[in-house]
Structure 1
């Protein structure tokens, strides 16, 4: 006879947590609210341990939000070696519908406990890796916020410089967002500030502002390059420097200085976060997503942070539904319709699309697959959808195995699926010779990929194009 479970559902919040303990079939043995305090959590865990001993049951915790407000619970429970399960919010919402329309923290905790009671063996464990994933997610979202703030500040800076320097400021530096360009306009927010400066003096100032990084030039060539740039700046701003300074211009100068300070601070914060991610946290995960073409530090952190523990997805199809690359089916009356999936993780969906665009540009296998989809009559957006679904499957396999991306292995998988699901379709038959040739990089043929595209679309739920 299997041992009884004492399922404890925790609904974490900022100040007070709802906790409900349930015995089979649905008997509540504890129901209370616990303040967000480590001592109170440890005291409650001791009481729950006594309850488990009294009822001869195994103590199993379930938590829904284990990567934000639930992290304090994770520290307490992991230190005591408790079993902690991660509960999918979709299941708790379905369970709450069974309890009625009431919405309280205790009802949420009771629904979490009921899910743990029924699915304890199927739920993934909340391990230390989940805390690392939560940190990655917060860092990736912080980098995304910094990028948005930087874009807004750059747009405002462009507007202000257009009213002070006129379009001549675009001739001074190639890209306004570079640090030495921002330092320059922070020091010279108005063109009138350049008056009384010679070419040699401005070249010396440019060398200080660039901190010695002015491109692949030798030391003896730097002076000539900087003098040439200084002469170009003075010549481009000469008509504007003749205008008088007004109180409005002085106020705009202060606005330009503040925007430059904000952009320089944002640039420094971004570099520090990327450095910590690349050197410390990403290697700690043991994953190699950056071996995929077009996946940088920020995109890898986004994928790992938003995905969390890959074991919570029972298959690659479930992962594709979560990241939005699998279409949603709306069928009725014998008619089948497929639409874009809206109930998904949109940050992860955007990451898959960015990976698909990069793969089409740089990966020969993805490019050939994209061209085959186009030849079958699909529009460019529909073809990119297929590539994004393919990238979802690759990411799922890489996260499960923790291995780098291997194009030869993907080609061999394509050949094996063709041989198993659709032998003889397309232009070239898959005999032993073709199978081994597909296993080598750079030998995939377009007819084989066209057959694979048709088979994989049917397996993934995508509608087939008309004749």
Structure 2
């Protein structure tokens, strides 16, 4: 639990783009501050210094520690204040306990301050982020944006191909991540353009980019073209739209590759990098996400706390004799949960991970359920590795009863 014994003022900040609303309470609940604060270092520092001089230790609590909340937290630390974070979900649930349905900046700031004063267990500590982790946070976030853009563009291409030539989509759609396919679509976006280019010419054109699959890919394309003889109205627009989308997809893939190099360089300079990447299924991008979301793991007392934070700890639901059992929680850090789920899938080549997964499947669990259980087990392993600073040691885990 967050220690608030020496705090003289609980300053809740409802952060905003141009201004924040601050609400200060003493440990006895007396209001000592309630006004907007410009998002300016000078103004923020003046308030923090004034409250510190009058009341001693000031605990600054925000509901958004990143983006618009970054400056006030940085200034507060520099001014000698303690800082903490009240998760948005907890804040909203606590706000429901207060009278009135209005939602204003002033009310939100008051709720944050009062929650910090009366329910310190709801607060999360905000450790001072080192420069490497701060840069990884930005780059990892940008990489996720690019990944989402790549998915959106790929889906758009597949949607158009499905609309006008389903057989061609079944050949090219699953291979859009391959540079030979995007290169081909940049130049020949429609079925007619592909057929006009000719089988032999296309093979020679893409062979440098796909030596092993060139002939097979082109054969599959022409087999798909032969399956459809009718021309769906609007097919001619593919010569304009598909090449443009393919160029966009290629650009996004190139950006992600360049970004991965930058992330890898930063990651190699972090002392925990060898520990994280020693775990099967954890590569550059996953390791970056783990560093950004978990850090060195000291914020979590036990592996169970970390699993709960990741949304991988099953939630028990029971009511009388009609409702009982454990269910997957909907809460948790989605970024961390996704990273652990995908890394669990990538780790199935590891003997210990595969053994655990197979045992779960043998007990009737679905593929997704087995992967989630494997991810939960790997959270415990990750916690132990970070706690002890040791590399991954493969061993065959024992499954626990459902």
Report how far residue 142 of structure 1 moved. Answer: 1.0
Report how far residue 354 of structure 1 moved. Answer: 2.8
Look up the match of 2:83.
84
- Look up the SS of the partner of 1:10 in the other structure: strand
Contact 2:195 2:222 in 1 (8 A): no
Deviations 1:223-260 (A, max 9, x none): xx98x7999799879989xx9x9996653311222222
Look up the match of 2:58.
59
Alignment of 1:66-465 (within 5 A): 66-93=65-92, 95-101=94-100, 102-117=102-117, 119=120, 123-129=124-130, 131-132=134-135, 134-135=137-138, 138-156=141-159, 158-159=161-162, 162=165, 167=168, 170=171, 175-189=175-189, 206=205, 212-215=208-211, 250-280=236-266, 283-284=269-270, 286-287=272-273, 288-307=275-294, 310-333=297-320, 336-359=324-347, 361-373=348-360, 377-381=363-367, 382-407=369-394, 411=395, 452-454=398-400, 457=401, 463=402
Decide which moves more: 387-396 or 70-79: 70-79
Distance 1:202 1:91, change over 3 A: closer
Contact 2:90 2:122 in 1 (8 A): no
Count of residues paired in the alignment = 389
Q: Which runs of 5+ in 1 are unaligned?
A: 217-224, 412-443, 458-462
So what's the TM-score if we normalise by structure 2? 0.77
Residue 42 in structure 1 maps to residue 42 in structure 2: yes
Deviations 1:115-166 (A, max 9, x none): 4446399852341247456425523531441242133133035347738xx7
Q: Partners in 1 of 2:190 and 2:242 — Cα distance?
A: 9
**Superposition CA RMSD, Å:** 4.3
Distance 1:299 1:263, change over 3 A: same
Q: Partners in 2 of 1:3 and 1:169 — Cα distance?
A: 65
Look up the match of 1:415.
none
Distance 1:349 1:267, change over 3 A: same
Q: Partners in 2 of 1:230 and 1:371 — Cα distance?
A: 34
Q: Partners in 1 of 2:192 and 2:7 — Cα distance?
A: 81
Distance 1:371 1:34, change over 3 A: same
Q: Partners in 1 of 2:318 and 2:300 — Cα distance?
A: 25
Decide which moves more: 327-336 or 252-261: 327-336
Selected match of 2:30 from 27, 30, 37: 27
Contact 1:67 1:134 in 2 (8 A): no
Report how far residue 61 of structure 1 moved. Answer: 1.7
Q: Which runs of 5+ in 2 are unaligned?
A: none
Distance 1:81 1:237, change over 3 A: same
- Look up the SS of the partner of 2:67 in the other structure: coil
Decide which moves more: 191-200 or 143-152: 191-200
